[in-house]
Chain A
Amino acid sequence: MKVALLGVGGCGTRLVDQFVRTEHRTGRSVTNGNVLAFHTESQPLSQTTALSTDQHILLGDTHPAVLRRDTNSPATDSPNSSHDPQLQSETSTTTSKQGASSNSRTREYDINEYGVGGDPDVGAQVAKAERPEIRRALDKIDETEVAATMIVAGLGGGTGAGVGSVLLEELTDIYETEVYTLGVLPADTESDQRALTAARGLRTLVPRAASTLLVDNDSWSRDRDAVADCYQSINQMTVDRLLSVFGAGEANTTFESELRIDPADISRTLAVGGVTTVGRATVEIDSNAHGLLARILRLLGRSQPSGSTPVDASKIKTLISRAVQSKLTLPCEITSADRVLLILSGPPDTISRKGFETGRYLLEEETQTVEVLAGDEPIQNTTELTATVVLANVTSVPQIDELQRRAVPTEDAVTTTSGPSTTTEQTATTDEMNTQTVEPSADADSTSAEFDFTNAETASETTDSTEQ
């Protein structure tokens, strides 16, 4: 399925960049270059390696609350340099702390001042104010070339959730095709403000998106103190799974698939809306039995229907079972799934009919839904068999409950301590927001600065997505 990807915020930018890089490396083609990255801060955009500058859309130049990292070089960061840098810093800090109530000061490390400073309401204002600019950028996407569009964003981010929400509104208005969201949920160690933003983001995005695929940073970060250190591996896991799903049926192969995954299979699975999660498992196959020899025998017409040796039926069933029991992008109660999609990819002559069928049936039993679509994807030159399972509209998700539990007191604190100027009623006028002055501090823990793009390429090879 061809999909246009629109990264929003630091997280979204990194994810789409990684996606395109992985497309190049694996030869899979999902986006056809239909990729954009929107941000209110320039640095994460400039750190991308697979996107060209005309795919970078820097927003917020006209918004007084948006703080630029390097105000001395407006030419690179901001084509519109006429406004007062001092004003920017003052206002941004004011609003950025809206969610960071006094009881969570210690967790503020994960938000820096730049861009919208973590404030989704400012993010939304920026995007609304710059709709023309956003529309112009969207002209670079060829809607006729893709079957769907996906907004990719960290839902705890001010830009991700704020700009993402407005962008989704815009896209669902102008596009006939489906618009999905891929959202990253903040970890438990991230600030309450992140939790609040994400919980509000879900309320905004889920009802409007055709489906919202979620990745839970908490379940996927190993070191509980430094989620940012895990971005690279989480992003690779995310990209690998997205490619397994949307790349199915897009590979150029001379082998015909008997039960090909059509774009309609994917969109029908996701059509129920709600929240979607993805599992995956891989198994090495014995390359001798299935490789050259088997192929030569087939060419010679020697392999009897029962003579060639597909991977054991039970091995395939186990693989499918492992995929649905694996650590999902967002852990959930799997029986709450509404629809399920199974993609089995590997060398075409290895997929046992019986294993495939019993595995699919097992999914029906384990997820307790009869809406299970399944397909195979023949891939040449691989010694791996991969099962990817999409669970659409899962409704029992502990991590979402947890985010809401943290968000409610945070929002209460915000509304009681900071008054009306900090909430959704905020307007974009300078006067109203210029109420407090806090020194902007260059945040050394800035997540984007820490992220090492050059390592991502090599490290990605070792990322294993078949935990458990």
Chain B
Amino acid sequence: MKLATIGVGNAGSKLIDQMIEFEFETGRNLCRHALVINTARTDLAKPQQLDEDRRVLIGDTHQKARGHGVGGDAKIGAEVAQTDIDEIRRVFDDVEIHEVDAVLVAAGLGGGTGSGAAPVVIDELQKMYDEPVYGLGVLPGTYEGGRPALNAARSLQSFVNKVDNFIAFDNDAWRSRGQTIEQGYEEMNEELATRIVTLLAAGEVDESEVGENAMDSSDIMRTLDTGGVSSIGYASTDVTPAKEGLLANFKEVDDSQSESTDAAKIKGLVRRATNSRLTVPCDVSSADRALIVFAGPPDVISRKGVESAREWLEQEADTVDVLAGDDPRPDSSTLAAVVLLSNVTDTPRINEIQDQAVDAQNKIQEQDAVREEEIQSLITDDDNDLDPIV
């Protein structure tokens, strides 16, 4: 698939940056256009893979933002995006939209810029183009607290209503022991970039080499066509390069036996991908459609294995709509299986965030209601005898 990508806010920008880095390292070519948008000048400087003119500062004339961010206030995030929409549109003028299959908008939903501005940007994109617009959103962890949960719950609603599919990533699912903050985000971003790029970059191989088993962009888009929230699973294994390695020799010796071990390996890989940490934990059987991409040397992808893996996933996801295909990468030393579970409806983490958000909203409303009165009573003596100075 060919994408135009937009990162909004801090997390969104870092994710797009990481995706580009990953595709560059692995010789893929997914993000044909990339753009980052932020309200904070300093955050805009972070991405390393983007040119200066691909970074858009919004809200620098807004009284409360002024190039300094929005302080987690999604309302201001949305407001400034609305105000500066012409500027965003202008940068998008360079994009030859017919050269891409879809647009991907990435954002962290717990903050203010991404959660507020991204839905506005998506609205505009949907107006401008017929191509599908996908969302890639980071859900805040439980310990980030009530305000991020509230931002996320609200933003998630807008996202899901506006995009053609929303791929969720749960920060809570990716904690590991002993991480620093820096490592934590770095690891998560790498994991997410690996999954999203491996999935979406499929279908871009040279037409002449394509076998009948190759995944096509239209297959991926069809699977995403469900709308709703999606989750991605991933597993990979080292494979010895076919031409010189053991496997090649082995194959010559006993082709049929090798075929059956390979098949078992393939199915095991898909099973591992599905049962491993998904980008957002979900009940697999609640998926509407599913798709498997095998990325690796074509000669280690056993047809029998692919078919049995596909059948297995049909059972697991409880849907007949399961596509499987290859992303042939002859020079790769790994074989990866990516599983896309489209429109999963049973996602406990999203329910939790919504509950946390309702509590937060109540508390905030309570505080808003008494604020002025409490300040007045703090600075006034009991009988209101004291005069101000001016």
Whether both chains belong to one complex is answered with yes
**What is A's interface to B at a CB cutoff of 8 Å?**
1, 120-121, 123-124, 128, 147, 161-162, 165-166, 169, 176, 196, 199-204, 206-207, 249, 256, 258-260, 262-269, 272-275, 305-306, 308-310, 336, 338, 348-354, 356-358, 360-361, 364, 368-373, 376, 393, 395-397, 400, 404-405, 407-408, 411-412, 423-424
Across-interface contacts of A353 in B (CB, < 8 A): 175, 179-181, 183-184
Does any Cβ of A come within 8 Å of B249's Cβ?
A: no
Q: Bound state CA distance, A376 and B180, in angstroms?
A: 11
Q: Pick the residue among A259, A371, A423 that contacts B181 (CB under 8 A).
A: A259
Q: Which of B137-145, B230-238, B298-306, B308-316 contacts A (4 or more CB under 8 A)?
A: B137-145
| A-B residue pairs in contact (CB < 8 Å), sample of 26 | A124-B389, A124-B390, A204-B389, A206-B379, A207-B375, A249-B42, A262-B40, A262-B69, A263-B66, A264-B39, A268-B72, A275-B375, A305-B176, A305-B179, A336-B374, A353-B183, A357-B141, A364-B146, A372-B145, A376-B181, A393-B371, A395-B374, A396-B378, A400-B378, A404-B380, A405-B381
Residues of B within 8 A of A169 (CB): 390
Say yes or no: is B359 at the interface (Cβ < 8 Å to chain A): yes
Q: Are A352 and B178 in contact (CB under 8 A)?
A: yes
Instruction: Give Cα A351 to B184, complex, Å.
Output: 10
Tell me the complex Cα distance, A161–B387, Å. Answer: 13
B348 to chain A: which residues have CB within 8 Å? none
A-binding residues in B (CB < 8 A): 10, 39-40, 42-43, 46, 63-66, 68-73, 112, 141-147, 150, 175-187, 359-360, 363-364, 367, 371, 374-383, 385-390
Find out whether the CB atom of B68 lies under 8 angstroms from the CB atom of A262: yes
Closest B residue to A262 by CB, please name it: B69
> Is there an interface contact between A203 and B387, defined as CB atoms closer than 8 Å?
yes
Contact in complex: A306, B177 (CB < 8 Å):
yes
B71 A121 Cβ-Cβ under 8 A = no
Q: A275-B378, A369-B367, A400-B378 are in contact. List 4 more A-B contacts (CB 8 A).
A: A262-B71, A336-B374, A368-B363, A370-B146
Chain B residues with Cβ below 8 Å from A166 are: 390
State the 9 A-B residue pairs at the shortest beta-carbon distance, nearest first.
A370-B146, A268-B71, A262-B69, A264-B71, A357-B143, A353-B184, A263-B68, A264-B69, A404-B381
Tell me the dominant secondary structure on chain A's binding face.
Answer: helix
Residues of B with C-beta under 8 A to A308: 178, 180, 183
Contact residue among B72, B178, B367 (Cβ-Cβ distance under 8 Å from A310):
B178
Q: Would you call A361 and B145 a contact (CB within 8 A)?
A: yes
With contacts A263-B68, A376-B181, A407-B381 taken as known, whether A200 is within 8 angstroms of B386 at the C-beta atoms is: yes
Residue contact B388 to A373, C-beta cutoff 8 Å: no
Distance between Cα atoms of A382 and B141 in the complex (Å): 30
In angstroms, how far is the closest chain A Cβ from the Cβ of B209?
Answer: 34
Q: Does the CB pair B184–A408 fall under 8 Å? A: no
- B284 CB to closest chain A CB, in angstroms? 27
> A249 to B72, alpha carbons, bound, how many Å?
16
> Which partner residue on chain A sits nearest B39 by CB separation?
A264
**How far, in angstroms, from A353 to B68 measured CA to CA in the complex?**
25
Within the complex, which residue of A1, A396, A412 is in contact with B385, where a contact is CB–CB below 8 Å?
A412
Question: Which residues of A lie under 8 Å from residue B359 when comparing CB positions?
Answer: 370
Task: List chain A residues, Cβ under 8 A from B185.
Answer: 258
Contact of B379 among A121, A202, A260, A306 (CB under 8 A): A202
Q: Given A264-B40, A357-B141, are A408 and B179 also a contact pair (CB < 8 Å)?
A: no
A301 to chain B, nearest CB (A): 13
